[in-house]
Amino acid sequence: MVHEAVPKVELHCHLIGVLTPALLRDLRADGHPILVEPEAAAPVQFGEGPDGFGRWLTRVEPYKSAGWRTYLPILGWYIDKLVEQNVVYAEMMISPLMFSRDFGALAQEFEEFRTWVREREAGRIQIEFLFLVPRSLPDELIEKDTQRCVFLAKDNGISGISIAGLESHMPASRFSRMCRELKDHGLGIEIHAGELGGPEEVCEALDVGFADRIGHGIRAFEDEDLVARLCDEQVHLEFCPTSNLKMGAAKSIAEHPIGRARDLGMNFSINTDDPGAFGCSMTSEFELIHRYFSFSKEDFSKVAQNSLASRFAKELRCKVAANLERAQSEVVALA
Ligand SMILES: [Zn+2]
């Protein structure tokens, strides 16, 4: 396949969303405790929509509040899967609930967590983390979580945050101060918007949420002025095609805006969102896009270049990812 020769970059993946029955069976076989029966993680089917995804999350509920040690073998399994798919850089959304609220313990736990991940990367890939902030977060916790994020912004900590959840019920404006403060501390801001909510949600994420990247952004394409703005400002959109179809954000693959985004020279990535929950992989997403929109090797190279340039981590520690960046800048210089 045309995409196989092009290294991939994933910017939108929830750690809890990688759970699959096969992974849980492997964990059990290796002697790791599992918190739900493997069948509980069976993927959401087409047509099930947000309710189906809600049911999936309920079935894996114990993992929502599981500690970071529980997630290590899961993360290790996924890192190996990413490497197999020629992914050289990935940002993953993790729940702050994985770590202690006490700052002293938090620093130590996060350091152990990062050291473990660094070893597992083994120079093959670079994994960075974003703290997930649910839109439903109570007001009284917003300030506390802001201070935790500021604390973890230093020394190989998190590289950004991601605000996710039901859009219209919980406006991004509630997080305006948090986003401003975190941005001032060098953290990247990603906001899921324009997935099920309309174009106005995307405008709000940009204007009062100070978003550097928009998760999904599918419904932004209902507003031509907004599309023009996204083009002009080269706002990065994180497309997750199978998720967009299963959640009903796009009615069919033919109606997915990714082909138009390519034709307009927009800045976007191709991601899985929740590869376990939606039964997809980076490879399957690239194949889908190649099949329906005839993406060429050059189109996929451009996706990799834009994705890497839109990353939240400042440095590229991984030589493979750094080589990709260098090779792309040379191509640009030659053009
Ligand atoms: Zn997401």
Per-residue pLDDT of the chain (335 residues; tens, 9 = 90+): 777 778 999 999 999 999 999 999 999 999 999 999 999 999 999 999 999 999 999 999 999 999 999 999 999 999 999 999 999 999 999 999 999 999 989 999 999 999 999 999 999 999 999 999 999 999 999 999 999 999 999 877 999 999 998 777 788 899 999 999 999 999 999 999 999 999 999 999 999 999 999 999 999 999 999 999 999 999 999 999 999 999 999 999 999 999 999 999 999 999 999 999 999 999 999 999 999 999 999 999 999 999 999 999 999 998 888 888 888 887 767 66
**Domain around 151:** 2-334
Å from CA of 273 to ligand 1 middle: 5
Å from CA of 136 to ligand 1 middle: 15
Å from CA of 206 to ligand 1 middle: 17
Å from CA of 317 to ligand 1 middle: 25
pLDDT of 202-234, one tens digit each? 999 999 999 999 999 999 999 999 999 999 999
Structure-token pair, residue 180: 């401003």
**Terminal alpha carbon distance of the chain:** 25
Å from CA of 190 to ligand 1 middle: 10
Provide the number of structural domains found in the chain.
1
Q: Judge whether 122 and 320 are in contact, CB under 8 Å.
A: no
Å from CA of 241 to ligand 1 middle: 12
What pLDDT does residue 323 have? 87
The one-letter amino acid code at 195 reads E
The burial of 79, by beta-carbon neighbours within 10 Å (0-12 exposed, 13-18 middle, 19 or more buried), is given as buried
Å from CA of 221 to ligand 1 middle: 19
Phi then psi for 88, rounded to 5 degrees? -110, -15
Å from CA of 238 to ligand 1 middle: 9
Å from CA of 233 to ligand 1 middle: 22
DSSP string, 79-103: HHHHHHTTEEEEEEEE-GGGS-SSH
Å from CA of 228 to ligand 1 middle: 24
User: What does the chain come to in residues?
Assistant: 335
- pTM for this predicted structure: 0.96
- What beta strand segments (E) does 233-300 contain? 236-239, 268-270
Helix (H, G, I), strand (E, B) or coil at 35: coil
What pLDDT does residue 334 have? 65
pLDDT of 34-65, one tens digit each? 999 999 999 999 999 999 999 999 999 999 99
Å from CA of 306 to ligand 1 middle: 19
Half-sphere exposure of 291 (CA within 13 A, CB side): 9
The one-letter amino acid code at 71 reads Y
Q: How far apart are CA 5 and CA 241, in angstroms?
A: 21
- For 60, residues 6+ apart whose C-beta sits below 8 A from its C-beta are 16, 19, 35, 36, 40, 41
Å from CA of 330 to ligand 1 middle: 32
What CATH number has the domain bearing residue 20?
3.20.20.140
Å from CA of 12 to ligand 1 middle: 6
Å from CA of 207 to ligand 1 middle: 20
Å from CA of 239 to ligand 1 middle: 10
Å from CA of 31 to ligand 1 middle: 30
Helix (H, G, I), strand (E, B) or coil at 132: strand
